[in-house]
A = this chain, B = another copy of it.
Amino acid sequence: MGNKNNMEIKQITNMETDFAQWFTDVCKKAELIDYSSIRGMYIYRPYGYAIWENIQKSLDERFKETGHENVYLPMLIPESLLEKEKEHVEGFAPECAWVTYGGSNKLEERYCIRPTSETLFCEHYKNVIQSYKDLPKLYNQWCSVLRWEKTARPFLRHREFLWQEGHTMHATADEAREETQRMLNIYADFCENVLAMPVVKGRKTDKEKFNGAEETYTVECMMHDRKALQAGTSHYFGDGFAKAFDIQFSGSDNKLHYPHQTSWGVSTRLIGGIIMTHGDNNGLILPPRIAPVQAIVIPVAQHKEGVIDKANELFERLRKAGIRTKIDVTDRSLGWKASEYEMKGVPLRVEIGPKDIENNQCCLCRRDNREKTFVPLENLETAVREMLDSIHNALFEKALANRETHTKICQTLEEVKEFMTSEGGFAKTMWCGDLECELKMKEEAGVTSRCMPLEQEHTGDKCVCCGKPADKMIYWGVAY
């Protein structure tokens, strides 16, 4: 019985056989997600949503510490409002879901469900910004957005997804640019120190930037299958939207000025990133600082006298120490439980049985490398805390090693093609800056530009594509 259940819960595709199927299996079997009757609209189940709640909590603290305030704006945008900024509407209108009826009445104007909220924020900013004393406005919104895409995959491409969108207004371009970098750095710090996902911070090419932005910055991560994931973006808009929406403020010089704008966002896509960065053939592996359950206490031979009591004692001690802990005293077999918590990626199992009690110890089983360590009970809290940190570091190092091993400096398009077909990963090259070369890289090597890293290196003198003099170092890859 225990064995049969073991087999059931373990049935996921090997990632080496079919990475996409492995990913979907993990999403389902770890109970992160369920399908709804509308294609591309998913249900965030309790365990998946709890990961998002931890992401929200951690980011929201960082936003508030840096002076941002949360607001909530309507989910519907009148078509005429969306059309006010030309590049923006061209980018988003094709994937909008349109509301045309309110009850049984046809609406005079169509409303789209927000795909992003720049236009709504601008409409509101026009009402609340009059003087330089009203600036900066540092707003953020947690909400869901809709983009009517044709293909869909859990966490990576939803028609409806959860995200946060920061929208800020500043008196000067310098201040707005500073904000764009500040938020990019917060995303980078969060990805690396909470999600254990190493990032490349960089700027997007004009082709890849956000519709309507002057500059887009990104944090790019490499997944286990060597593809790239854009984990978060931060945009500088200049005063383009402000002009389109006629937002002006009187400066300390008593003249009218247009404010300068930013926006920045991350979404539930980060959960897809966590899965594909850290997971293995036994399922999910959650970085400890975001895991809804950091430690699961499992009694061994729990029918023996005193075992469940002792296990409960450990559980209470860990909870009191501020470690997110659960205990499993159901009558399922030890093997079944081990498999289930492996599938769910719980960082640490704390096992205790009659022998351990005799020896005044328990066994800590790491999810990431499956190492087992016996620790004296008096050291429990410290040992668990240290091991959670050690797991975080190990996950980060492993992901970094994966990226470094699969990043290659290339001098020619041929070299990039060869690298992408033989091995795959990030190709690091020089680029002249021409759109033509960027398009040719896509056509011939199947790669898109990921970013021009903020930390530039000199890896050559010539553009990888056209061979002309080039002074920009850029990453190429295949992206999710």
Contacts and interface: CB of A to CB of B under 8 A. Distances in A.
A454 interface: no
Given A97-B99, A100-B100, A144-B75, A124 B69 contact: no
A44 interface: yes
Nearest to A72: B44
Nearest to A158: B74
Q: How large is the interface on A (under 10, 10 to 19, 20 to 34, 35 or more residues)?
A: 35 or more
A246 to B, nearest CB: 14
A374 to B, nearest CB: 33
Contact of A160 (B34, B75, B162): B75
Contact of A46 (B37, B45, B69): B69
A214 interface: no
A95 B103 contact: yes
Interface in A216-267: none
A160 B124 CA distance: 17
A70 B46 contact: yes
Given A99-B98, A100-B101, A101-B100, A74 B148 contact: no
A49 B71 CA distance: 6
A365 B37 CA distance: 57
Residue with the highest number of chain B CB atoms closer than 10 Å, among A72, A99, A120, A146:
A72
Contacts of A120: 36
Copies in the complex: 2
Interface in A298-350: none
A127 interface: yes
A124 B72 contact: no
A447 to B, nearest CB: 27
Contact of A123 (B37, B113, B160): B37
A346 to B, nearest CB: 16
Interface string A119-136: 010011001100000000
B38 A73 contact: no
B99 A113 contact: yes
B97 A98 contact: no
Interface string A91-105: 001111111111110
A113 B46 CA distance: 22
Contacts of A78: 37-38
Given A53-B70, A97-B111, 16 more contacts: A36-B120, A38-B74, A41-B76, A44-B73, A46-B70, A49-B71, A49-B72, A50-B70, A72-B162, A75-B144, A76-B160, A94-B103, A94-B104, A98-B99, A98-B101, A99-B113
8 contacts: A36-B73, A38-B74, A49-B69, A49-B72, A52-B72, A53-B70, A72-B162, A102-B148
